[in-house]
Amino acid sequence: MTLVLEQILNGVQLGVMLFLLAAGLTLIFGIMGVINLAHGSLYMVGAYAAAVTASATGSAILAMLAGLAAAAVTGMAIEYVVLRRLYARNHLDQVLATFGLILFFNQGVTMLFGRQPLFVDIPAALSGAVEIVPGVPYPVYRLLIIGVGIAVAVGLYLLITRTRIGMLVRAGATNREMVRALGVDIRLLYTVVFGLGALLAGLAGLMAGPITSVQVGMGEQILILTFVVVVIGGIGSIRGAVVGALLVGIVDTMLRAFLPTLLRGMMAGAEADALGAGLSSMGVYLLMALVLLLRPKGLVPAHG
């Protein structure tokens, strides 16, 4: 039972990572109508900047600031140089151009830091564990991630429901033309939203560093999982991103943790492990298929 609790928390923690990426991706799509494959690259940039700063200075605070700044600056640069020219284009052009960006960033990072993964230590102050219920210790760092995720979700909620920018974001998600017609400085709004999305992706990347190891390709791996989240939750919908991220995070973690053991009760060990690994890696995609069959627009669609 304690193991189940622990795995659920791990699932929630993966869900938080996915939420941070999905929120940005879905906002950017909702406001600008752009599909940005390079969103995963921002995650990678954040992770690398933080990892390198941490090993150079030993300061977790500096590492965090570096990760956020690098992701935000890279994001705005991408927006300014490439994406701005793609708003009026079709999705195919957007996909291809941002695919080109991925090749560029992945190879660039390889040239700078090599192919070997970087490993980042958990900051000393956060390296312990606390007992969440008596007898069940859980790492402080992972709890912190979950806390940050909740804080970001609440912050986004307040931003979107209580501020002028949020009002424009909501209006933009339902009716892009209307926001244009309102005479808002649309370029500024776009840059702000894009910067925000990049910041969240960088935040996810820098927090993931101590848990997953920092390497080239980490961005795409999580990006595709983020797509699953967005499709399940409903494209353009922040609430959908929360629901989808938690669902995908928990289902993926639980399957990986328990399916092989479950299968081993039914068949030979080696075969059970192979099948278990195969099935659990397919699990969230099958979940997506199921959602598509039952609710093609996602669980929490953006419009009505």
Task: Pick between residue 210 and residue 283 the one whose CB is nearest to other proteins.
Answer: 283
Q: Is 196:37 a contact under the CB 8 Å cutoff?
A: no
Q: Is 251 in the site for other proteins (CB under 8 A)?
A: no
Alpha helices in the chain (DSSP H): 2-32, 39-57, 60-81, 91-113, 140-162, 164-174, 176-181, 186-212, 218-233, 238-264, 269-294
Task: Pick between residue 10 and residue 94 the one whose CB is nearest to other proteins.
Answer: 94
Which of residues 82, 186, 192, 211 is near other proteins by CB under 8 A?
Answer: 82
Q: Is 77 in the site for other proteins (CB under 8 A)?
A: no
Residue type, 80: Y
Q: Is 29 in the site for other proteins (CB under 8 A)?
A: yes
Kindly tell me the sign of the dihedral angle through the C-alpha atoms of 151, 156, 159, 162: negative
Q: Is 231 in the site for other proteins (CB under 8 A)?
A: yes
Q: Is 214:51 a contact under the CB 8 Å cutoff?
A: yes
Which of residues 62, 76, 95, 118 is near other proteins by CB under 8 A?
Answer: 95
Report how far residue 234's alpha carbon sits from residue 240's, in angstroms, rounded to the nearest whole number: 5
Q: Compose the 32-71 pattern: x for residues touching other proteins by CB under 8 A, - for all others.
A: ---x------------------------------------
Task: Pick between residue 123 and residue 283 the one whose CB is nearest to other proteins.
Answer: 283
Q: Compose the 182-221 pattern: x for residues touching other proteins by CB under 8 A, - for all others.
A: --------------------------------------x-
Residue type, 268: A
Q: Is 174 in the site for other proteins (CB under 8 A)?
A: no
Helix 238-264 vs helix 2-32: crossing angle, to nearest 10: 140
- Nearest residue to 194 via CA among 44, 40, 80: 80
Q: Is 278 in the site for other proteins (CB under 8 A)?
A: yes
Task: Pick between residue 91 and residue 180 the one whose CB is nearest to other proteins.
Answer: 91
Report how far residue 197's alpha carbon sits from residue 195's, in angstroms, rounded to the nearest whole number: 5
- Pick the stretch among 146-154, 175-183, 188-196, 281-289 that binds other proteins (CB under 8 A): 281-289
Report how far residue 299's alpha carbon sits from residue 248's, in angstroms, rounded to the nearest whole number: 13
Q: Is 228 in the site for other proteins (CB under 8 A)?
A: yes
3-class DSSP state for residue 133?
A: strand
Report how far residue 166's alpha carbon sits from residue 127's, in angstroms, rounded to the nearest whole number: 36
Residue with tokens 């960006």, as numbered in its chain: 101
- Pick the stretch among 133-141, 151-159, 202-210, 283-291 that binds other proteins (CB under 8 A): 283-291
Q: Is 224 in the site for other proteins (CB under 8 A)?
A: yes
**Residue 5: CB minimum distance to other proteins, A:** 27
What's the DSSP call for residue 234?
Answer: -
**Residue 298: CB minimum distance to other proteins, A:** 8
Residues that bind other proteins (CB under 8 A): 29, 35, 82, 85-86, 89, 91-93, 95-97, 99-108, 110-111, 220, 224, 227-228, 230-231, 235, 274, 277-278, 281-282, 285-286, 288-289, 292-293, 296
